[in-house]
Structure 1
Amino acid sequence: MNRILAAALAATLGTAASAETLTVGMSGGYFPFTFVKQDVLQGFEVDVMNAVGEEAGLDIEFETMSFSGLIGALDAGRIDTVANQITITPEREARFAFSQPYVFDGAQVVVRDGNDSIGGVEDLKGRTVAVNLGSNFEQLLNDLPYADEIDIKTYESNIAQDTALGRVDAFVMDRVSSAQLIAESPLPLALAGAPFSEIRNALPFRDTDEGRALRDKVDAALTTLKDDGTLAEISDKWFGTDITSAE
């Protein structure tokens, strides 16, 4: 019996020792996707990556840093991927190997509550609009036909506070995060109009043999987690709805 138990333990330890580590970068400051509460890193992205690790047999190691530094860290090989609502864009697709999308969302204008002069993206002409540094929302605004009439300000933090205080006229973020921020924050903020651009968020990997192999392993796990309803359950836990499906 002891020999059997020892063999089983050795096999278990051997499996654990040989498990591949996936180093995942995130900001830890993008509620409710990734945030720190009582010194614990948590959120939708954390739950998704832990589920991916369990399904794919990967040890997940989280590295937190400023959002604007995440892509550079991926390029430099300090992390293997980024789980922080990274939107697929043509420019990023040319640089990285993306997993399948696991969040479907839209860009949203947010204003100080009571600011009825901005009813949506078409009213941003002549306005000062904040976006998070390193996000794709600056490019979305620059793609508008009247982009030269918008004063875009990039922020590392305080994007919502400065909008609520009137230091900028509006900010642009994804609709899911915006709605959650408004629901959880005492700041006087409101959604302005409907989302103006569909966005698909996925996990980027370096476009190398090793990076693509990791991508394929993670992608297979995401497919299983979608099919068995795990992603939908995680989404419902954090948002009360399923943001992981395009349907």
Structure 2
Amino acid sequence: MLSSAVVAQETQILRVGMSGGYFPFTFVKKDVLQGFEVDVMNAVAVEAGLDIEFKTMSFSGLVGALDSGRIDTIANQITITPEREAKFAFTEPYVYDGAQVVVRKGNDEIAGIDDLRGRIVAVNLGSNFEQLLRELAFADEVEIKTYESNIAQDTALGRVDAFVMDRVSSAQLIQESPLPLMLAGKPFSEIRNALPFRNDEAGIAQRDRINAALITLRKNGTLAEISEKWFGTDITSPE
């Protein structure tokens, strides 16, 4: 009996999971799924000669859907970590970023990561930022709160002292949102985001096919063009 992943591959359909609630990477506007991730995956599908099927669900359910074979990969800024690399087959990174502290505008007490001692800091549930904070030398002095959403709103309202998110999303959020927020210092950790596939024969074959498409799209400038459209800069290159 063929696995769901093999069936999907034979029918030339790539099932891509995403939250649909992570602006500007993946979000719904006027009932249309759009964003950086959507544009990248549509370009990948064309380059690889695949049809694409987007499946939206809560961020916390994406890994379980990949494990169970309900989707083939996740396009939701999945950060490469040693733990994830041991479990999944990743493509090459297609986004290079850094962890960023964000505070309420006018907060001159927090100028970066070193000022989070004794503070309440919010992170998105399931993101890599909680682990980054727990690896700090003074982690026991930081109170971490995990959220499904509203970390920016609670920071602006003073319910938490700061939140940590990737710098690209933080800058975009500050630019688009009416909330009084600002970046605090420079990014404190390099982040490489890629597409995870199941680490079995079918998953690795899919990974290799998608990876080849990503490499071509980087070389011909398509990834950079998509990035410029959404961010005004190229976040797809390590340089």
TM-score bracket for this pair, using the shorter chain length: over 0.9
Q: Note the C-alpha offset of 1:19.
A: 4.9
Q: Indicate the residue corresponding to 1:171 in structure 2.
A: 163
Q: Indicate the residue corresponding to 2:38 in structure 1.
A: 46
1:6-17 equivalences under 5 Å are none
The size of the alignment, in residue pairs, is 230
Query: CA offsets, 1:77-112, max 9 Å, x none?
Result: 111100000000000000000000000000000001
Is residue 2:213 matched to residue 1:245? no
Distance 1:150 1:32 in 2: 29
Say which of 162, 178, 181 aligns to 2:173.
181
Distance 2:134 2:68 in 1: 28
Q: Indicate the residue corresponding to 2:5 in structure 1.
A: none
Q: Note the C-alpha offset of 1:121.
A: 0.5
After the TM superposition, list the runs of 4 or more consecutive aligned residues in structure 1 that deviate by more than 2 angstroms: none
Q: Indicate the residue corresponding to 1:88 in structure 2.
A: 80
Q: Indicate the residue corresponding to 1:233 in structure 2.
A: 225
1:48-67 equivalences under 5 Å are 48-67=40-59
Q: Indicate the residue corresponding to 1:207 in structure 2.
A: 199
Q: Indicate the residue corresponding to 2:212 in structure 1.
A: 220
Normalised by the length of structure 1, the TM-score is 0.92
Normalised by the length of structure 2, the TM-score is 0.95
Is residue 2:69 matched to residue 1:77? yes
1:189-204 equivalences under 5 Å are 189-204=181-196
Say which of 106, 112, 125 aligns to 1:114.
106
Q: Indicate the residue corresponding to 1:104 in structure 2.
A: 96
Q: Structure 2: any 5+ residue segments left out of the alignment?
A: 1-9
Counterpart secondary structure, 1:237: helix
Counterpart secondary structure, 2:153: helix
- RMSD over equivalenced CA pairs, Å: 0.7
Distance 2:182 2:31 in 1: 29
Q: Structure 1: any 5+ residue segments left out of the alignment?
A: 1-17
Distance 1:93 1:69 in 2: 19
Distance 2:134 2:64 in 1: 22
Q: Indicate the residue corresponding to 2:147 in structure 1.
A: 155
Distance 1:72 1:19 in 2: 23
Does the 8 Å CA contact 1:19/1:57 hold for their aligned counterparts?
no
Query: CA offsets, 1:85-142, max 9 Å, x none?
Result: 0000000000000000000000000001011100000000100000000000000000
Q: Which moved more, 1:102-111 or 1:60-69?
A: 60-69
